């Protein structure tokens, strides 16, 4: 059943973003920023955790989960250290994704030539 929920949630998020792109003058940059903020906002009230529970990876791969993971890392440390923990823990869970993306982008830029 998780597969069906994963399909529905991921499809719905992509469709909403496409509708925003088609019907307004916002660019993909605006929409991804907006979705990260929405993900962080939903996670503050624990809503995104519930979505991840039901939709599995379907809720992990959209960019909304980036905001969710930032909040999680920050709040986990903040629960021990107080407000200072926000600064210490914010990249705890997203560091893998960001660092791999940086290294891959660098290697590929070194090895390959841009296609036009």
Partner 1 sequence: MQKQEYKKIVDNNTPKENYLKNAIITFIAGGILGALSELLLRGYMLWLDLPRKESGVLVILTLIIIASILTGFGIFDVLVTKLKSALIIPITGFAHSMTSAALEYKHEGLVLGIGANIFKLAGTVILYGVVSVYFFGLIRLLVMGG
CA 62 – CA 35 distance, rounded (Å): 9
At what angle are helices 64-81 and 28-44 packed, to 10 degrees? 40
Task: Report the residue number, 25 or 83, with the smaller CB distance to partner 1.
Answer: 83
- 48 within 8 A of 64, measured Cβ to Cβ: yes
Which listed residue (24, 26, 47, 109) binds partner 1 by CB under 8 A?
109
Distance (Å) of CA 100 to CA 30, 49, 88, 97: 24, 24, 20, 5
- The number of residues that bind partner 1 (CB under 8 A) is 69
Instruction: Kindly state the smallest distance separating residue 99's Cβ from partner 1, in Å.
Output: 10
| By the rule CB under 8 A, 32 interacts with partner 1 | yes
Q: Please answer whether residues 61 and 50 qualify as being in contact, where contact means their C-beta atoms are separated by less than 8 angstroms.
A: no
Question: 24, 26, 44, 50: which one contacts partner 1 (CB under 8 A)?
Answer: 44
Q: Given the rule CB under 8 A, which residues bind partner 1?
A: 2-4, 6-15, 17-19, 21-23, 28-29, 31-33, 35-37, 40-41, 44, 55-58, 60-63, 65-67, 70-71, 74-75, 78-79, 82-83, 86, 90, 93, 96-98, 100-102, 104-106, 108-115
């Amino acid at each position: 059943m998780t597969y069906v929920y994963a399909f529905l949630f991921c499809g719905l998020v992509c469709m909403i973003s496409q509708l925003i792109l088609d019907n307004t003058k916002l660019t993909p940059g605006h929409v991804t920023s907006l979705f990260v903020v929405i993900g962080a906002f939903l996670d503050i009230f624990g809503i995104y955790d519930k979505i991840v529970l039901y939709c599995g990876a379907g809720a992990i791969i959209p960019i909304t989960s980036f905001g969710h993971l930032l909040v999680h890392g920050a709040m986990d440390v903040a629960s021990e250290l107080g407000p200072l923990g926000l600064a210490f823990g914010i990249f705890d869970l997203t560091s893998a994704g960001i660092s791999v993306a940086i290294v891959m982008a660098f290697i590929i830029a070194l090895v390959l030539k841009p296609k036009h």
